[in-house]
């Protein structure tokens, strides 16, 4: 799982995408082009919760991409040295979802500091188990250490943690300000190796499966940072991602799958793709803000409109896809029908999508009138319960 001027992202093609993005924790400004920013999840990590929670990002793009830059200054991408280590050998991705069905996951506002009580309550409400639980950690916050206790608790409950790992000290007042201490170039150059290895060793010790989502929504136009300091540097991002994977493998953390979670897969994302040999999952977010957002791009967008172009672009990688934050507002259209279309199309047209993680937040950080929860109305909840009764949803 907000604030100043929305970043304008150039989008490839004609698809109008909306920002499924709340990653609840981090809130990026919106883009005015066909590529909106994805929100970041709320606070994540082991107790105690970080002093500054990560806001939820929420911004869909407009129908026509706009080349106009945002108010945020356009930084020059950091020069990232080429890693000295040899290329990583190819390896098959860890088998996922062998049955070819759709797994459910969730991000709630309280996870993991409520000891996952909100996840258990969600399962009771829908009468269905979820497989994945997503939350956030920042490299420079009070939640920087590996969440050993929270991961163990999730594993005991039968959930796979999806850990969004953000290389920064949270700063939502000036979110695009460079942070040299956590820059992609410093990661690629080995300055954070011991910290990365500490996570790898702790993850290996945890034993159960873990999905690691490093520096999500990085794929803005090269040279442009819209709401995170790690955006706009494709070369630096690829080098940092590959170094992290190499260190985890050296430490024997074979239980960790790596989720490359970009924004607008049919935009500049392909420039940020770190390689088939280091990516287990491809991720993106799908959020429909409807007319609730007070922005010029605000309008109702169907699931197909938001996701189809991204899916077609993702076919080039052939990886299983995880929709890391999926939700719709009520304002501007029929939320129940949006939910029905979402699950119908995932089954009929988008077979690479193997997991959908719901953004179960009742009030958006930037536009509090938006209730992202599937239970925002009796009609939307009924549509969701009907959708997950399909045997395709495991």
- Over the stretch 323-353, which tens digit does the pLDDT of each residue have? 999 999 999 999 999 999 999 999 999 999 9
The string of DSSP codes covering 248-309 is HHHTT-TTEEEEEE-S-TTTTHHHH---GGG-SEEEEEEEE-TTTS-STT-----HHHHHHH
Contact 19, 37 (CB under 8 A): yes
Q: Which are the contacts of 62, defined by CB distance < 8 A and separation ≥ 6?
A: 16, 32, 33, 34, 296, 297
Q: Taking the mean position of all CA atoms in its chain, how far away is CA 288?
A: 15
- Which tokens sit at 232? 């706009």
- Please give the average per-residue pLDDT across 97-111, as a whole number: 84
The pTM is what?
0.77
pLDDT over 50 at 29, yes or no: no
What are the CA-CA distances from residue 168 to residues 139, 176, 182, 288, 315 (Å)? 5, 10, 6, 27, 31
Contact 232, 225 (CB under 8 A): yes
Condensed to tens digits (0 to 9), the pLDDT of residues 261-294 reads 998 999 999 999 999 999 999 999 999 999 999 8
In the structure, what pLDDT confidence band is assigned to residue 177 with cuts at 50, 70 and 90? confident
The string of DSSP codes covering 210-252 is EEEEES-S--SSTT--SS-TT-S-HHHHHHHHHHHHHHHHHTT
* DSSP state, residue 132: E
Res 100: pLDDT: 67
Res 187: pLDDT: 97
Q: Scan for tokens 């520096």, then name that residue.
A: 215
């Amino acid at each position: 799982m907000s604030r100043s001027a929305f970043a304008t992202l150039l989008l490839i093609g004609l698809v109008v995408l909306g920002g499924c993005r709340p990653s609840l924790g981090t809130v990026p400004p919106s883009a005015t082009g066909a590529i909106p920013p994805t929100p970041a999840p709320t606070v994540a990590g082991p107790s105690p919760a970080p002093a500054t929670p990560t806001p939820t990002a929420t911004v869909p793009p407009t129908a026509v991409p706009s080349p106009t830059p945002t108010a945020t200054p356009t930084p020059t991408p950091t020069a990232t040295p080429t890693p000295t280590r040899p290329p990583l050998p190819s390896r098959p991705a860890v088998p996922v979802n062998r049955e070819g069905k759709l797994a459910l996951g969730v991000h709630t506002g309280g996870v993991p500091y409520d000891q996952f009580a909100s996840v258990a309550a969600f399962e009771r409400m829908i009468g269905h188990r979820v497989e994945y639980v997503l939350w956030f950690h920042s490299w420079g916050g009070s939640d920087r250490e590996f969440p050993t206790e929270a991961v163990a608790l999730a594993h005991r409950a039968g959930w796979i943690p999806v850990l969004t790992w953000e290389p920064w000290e949270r700063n939502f007042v000036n979110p695009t300000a460079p942070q040299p201490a956590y820059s992609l170039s410093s990661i690629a150059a080995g300055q954070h190796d011991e910290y990365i290895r500490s996570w790898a060793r702790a993850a290996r010790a945890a034993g159960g499966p873990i999905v690691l989502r490093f520096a999500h929504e990085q794929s803005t136009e090269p040279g442009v940072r819209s709401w995170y300091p790690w955006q706009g540097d494709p070369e630096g991002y690829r080098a940092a991602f590959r170094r992290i994977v190499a260190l985890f493998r050296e430490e024997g953390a074979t239980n960790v799958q790596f989720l490359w979670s970009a924004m607008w897969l049919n935009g500049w994302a392909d420039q940020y793709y770190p390689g088939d040999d280091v990516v287990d999952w491809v991720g993106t977010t799908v959020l429909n803000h409807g007319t609730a957002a007070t922005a010029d791009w605000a309008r109702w967008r169907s699931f197909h409109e938001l996701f189809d172009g991204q899916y077609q672009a993702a076919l080039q990688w052939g990886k299983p896809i995880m929709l890391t934050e999926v939700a719709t507002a009520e304002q501007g259209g029929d939320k129940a029908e949006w939910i029905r279309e979402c699950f119908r199309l995932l089954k009929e047209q988008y077979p690479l999508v193997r997991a959908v993680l719901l953004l179960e937040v009742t009030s958006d950080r930037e536009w509090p009138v938006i209730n992202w929860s599937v239970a925002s109305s009796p009609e939307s909840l009924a549509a969701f319960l009907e959708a997950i009764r399909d045997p395709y949803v495991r």
